[in-house]
Amino acid sequence: MISWRAIAVATLFAVAPALLAGEIPPDARRSGYTFMGPDTRAMQDDDTSNPGMLFVLDGEALWAKKTGSANRACADCHGDARSSMKGVAARYPAFDKAIGRPVTLDQRINLCRADHQQAAPLPYEDRELLALSAFVAHQSRGIPITAGDDPQAKPFVAQGRALFMQREGQLNLACTNCHDDNFDKRLAGAPITQGQPTGYPLYRLEWQTLGSLERRLRSCMTGVRAQAYDYGSPELVALELYLMSRARGLPMETPAVRP
Amino acid sequence: MIALSLALAASARAEELLPYTIVNDGIPASLTGAPGDVARGRALVLARTTTCILCHSGPFPETRFQGDLAPDLTGAGNRWSASQLRLRLVDASRFNPDTIMPSYYRADGLVRVGRNFAGKPILSAAEIEDIVAFLATLRD
């Protein structure tokens, strides 16, 4: 009897609060930007010094360029990205009804290439894919993140959360050990942030180029000496979706600059 | 036949790790049977690939790149015996099951270990002994 009640109460507590144990409350969520020094902030703030803007400009050209055997441009279907793409990246990864699971913005771009342009998919981290993705996400700059709100996305958010909490690799560390429990501390002298995915694709000084969120997640996994998930794998997409839902309300910054 | 080959496979894998005996809250005997080398231990603790310095700081004026996720190692030799230090390095989760400090001499119970690291402990028995010898010299 008593144990059944305990289980019922425990279930209630597990479902009722919007915030799960160990998670960062909305008013304490902070972009990686707030952990950076003044020079790196200035580089992000000024479009003429932000190297990510070169990719955005490339993406703008690609948006209007006819491609594939359909000989159609993104703009032929979507028109002016400034209005049609506004706020879109803040909702990604988004649930795709045809596939029955969430897709990332990169995957959406490749689905459009396949279905509407009859063009070959662009490889992950390819310059053109990063440029298109940066251009589309840039149209959401300043817009609060709402990814994961779609009820159909919920099971995938939960999957991503479980992966975030899971210890892994030879060093046996979970994402949450660094990005929930130890942000604001220093790992070998460098600040650990909350791991909020607000600015992707972004220009990382360490990479000397633009890179995707998946690239970042794979390097965190390699850092704990875990076998990184493949680009585009359901696990990485779920992690991405969870991270975006965890950043709910934070404004998009694409293209951000990070050390 | 099958049981035998399984037993052989298991012992081949376990060969990587030398056996040790926990007494109270420590491992009193050297893992290798020999004492460690203090200078090598210091170099190991300072090497980023050993990972200590990612989380810990210590009396290391030559590097700015120290972590603050964990206690400063200054005085560790006062606070802990060599036996306790050895067990802490081998398997820190024996002291605190929720610790973020990795178990440096363990290869089981881990998830998705990278191909190049699978089945191996983070440090060798000799490296553990060198680090224990060095930490024991850290006295205020």
How confident is the model over B31-90, as pLDDT tens digits?
A: 999 999 999 999 999 999 999 999 999 999 999 999 999 999 999 999 999 999 999 999
pLDDT above 70 (res A246): yes
Residues pairing with A251 in the sheet: A144
Last residue of a domain, one of A138, A157, A180: A138
Tell me the residue length of chain A. Answer: 259
Count up the domains in chain B and report the number.
1
Is A30 within the bounds of a domain? no
- CATH code at position A252: 1.10.760.10
Question: What pLDDT score was predicted for residue A20?
Answer: 72
In a shared domain, residues A152 and A251: yes
Nearest of A239, A248, A125 to residue A198 by alpha carbon: A248
> What are the percentages of helix, strand and coil residues in chain A, rounded to 5?
45, 10, 40
Average pLDDT over chain B reads 91
Over residues A24-36, mean pLDDT: 96
In a shared domain, residues A247 and A148: yes
In a shared domain, residues A108 and A177: no
- The pLDDT-based confidence of B16 (bands split at 50, 70, 90) is confident
Q: Are strands A202-204 and A257-258 parallel, antiparallel or unpaired?
A: parallel
pLDDT above 50 (res A7): no
**Would the CB atoms of A226 and B112 count as touching at under 8 Å?**
yes
Question: What pLDDT score was predicted for residue B6?
Answer: 40
> What are the percentages of helix, strand and coil residues in chain B, rounded to 5?
40, 0, 55
How confident is the model over A61-72, as pLDDT tens digits?
A: 999 999 999 999
Is A113 within the bounds of a domain? yes
Question: What pLDDT score was predicted for residue B66?
Answer: 97
Of A42-46, A62-66, A74-78, B11-15, which gets the smallest average pLDDT? B11-15
Q: In angstroms, what separates the C-alpha of B90 from chain A's closest C-alpha?
A: 13
Determine the structural domain holding residue A94 and report its residue range: 52-138
Instruction: List, in order, residues 6 or more apart from A165 with CB less than 8 Å away.
Output: A22, A174, A175, A176
Is A74 within the bounds of a domain? yes
Helices marked H in A93-174: 105-112, 127-138, 154-165
The H or E element that residue A2 is part of is: helix A2-15
Determine the structural domain holding residue B32 and report its residue range: 2-136
* Residue A229 and residue A221 in contact, taking contact as beta carbons nearer than 8 Å: yes
To probe the interface with A, which of B49, B62, B100 has the most A CB atoms within 10 Å?
B100
Average pLDDT over chain A reads 93
pLDDT above 60 (res A144): yes
Letter for the amino acid at A226?
Answer: A
In a shared domain, residues A223 and A209: yes
Catalytic residue among A74, A112, A178, A220: A220
How confident is the model over A195-238, as pLDDT tens digits?
A: 999 999 999 999 999 999 999 999 999 999 999 999 999 999 99
Torsion of CA A231, A49, A140, A153, to 10 degrees: 20
In a shared domain, residues A114 and A201: no
Over residues B20-25, mean pLDDT: 97
**Would the CB atoms of B69 and A188 count as touching at under 8 Å?**
no
* Residue A106 and residue A129 in contact, taking contact as beta carbons nearer than 8 Å: yes
Is A219 within the bounds of a domain? yes
Letter for the amino acid at A190?
Answer: A
Q: In this complex, is the C-beta atom of A181 within 8 Å of any C-beta atom belonging to chain B?
A: yes
In a shared domain, residues A164 and A240: yes
Q: In this complex, is the C-beta atom of B68 within 8 Å of any C-beta atom belonging to chain A?
A: yes
Is A20 within the bounds of a domain? no
Question: What pLDDT score was predicted for residue B140?
Answer: 81
Percent share of chain A, pLDDT over 90: 91
* Residue A41 and residue A49 in contact, taking contact as beta carbons nearer than 8 Å: no
A220 labelled catalytic: yes
In a shared domain, residues A170 and A254: yes
- The pLDDT-based confidence of A19 (bands split at 50, 70, 90) is low
- CATH code at position B89: 1.10.760.10
Last residue of a domain, one of A110, A138, A166: A138
How confident is the model over A81-113, as pLDDT tens digits?
A: 999 999 999 999 999 999 999 999 999 999 999
Determine the Cα–Cα distance for residues A188 and A23; give it in Å rounded to an integer. 24
Question: What pLDDT score was predicted for residue B1?
Answer: 35
In a shared domain, residues A175 and A87: no
**Would the CB atoms of A169 and B110 count as touching at under 8 Å?**
yes
User: Residue B69 is nearest to which of A166, A167, A182, comparing CB atoms?
Assistant: A182
DSSP B40-76: HHHHHHH-GGG-HHHH---S-TT-S----SS---TTH
Is A201 within the bounds of a domain? yes
Q: In angstroms, what separates the C-alpha of B1 from chain A's closest C-alpha?
A: 33
> What is the C-alpha radius of gyration for chain B, rounded to an integer number of angstroms?
16
In a shared domain, residues A132 and A200: no
In a shared domain, residues A148 and A94: no
Task: Look up the pTM and report it.
Answer: 0.92
Q: Are strands A190-191 and A186-187 parallel, antiparallel or unpaired?
A: antiparallel
* Residue A109 and residue A122 in contact, taking contact as beta carbons nearer than 8 Å: yes
How confident is the model over A48-61, as pLDDT tens digits?
A: 999 999 999 999 99
Regarding an ipTM greater than 0.85, the answer is yes
Count up the domains in chain A and report the number.
2
Name chain B contacts of A190, Cβ cutoff 8 Å: 65
- Please state, in angstroms and as integers, the Cα–Cα distance from residue A133 to each residue in A149, A201, A210, A228, following that order: 21, 7, 11, 22
SS3 of residue A30 by DSSP: coil
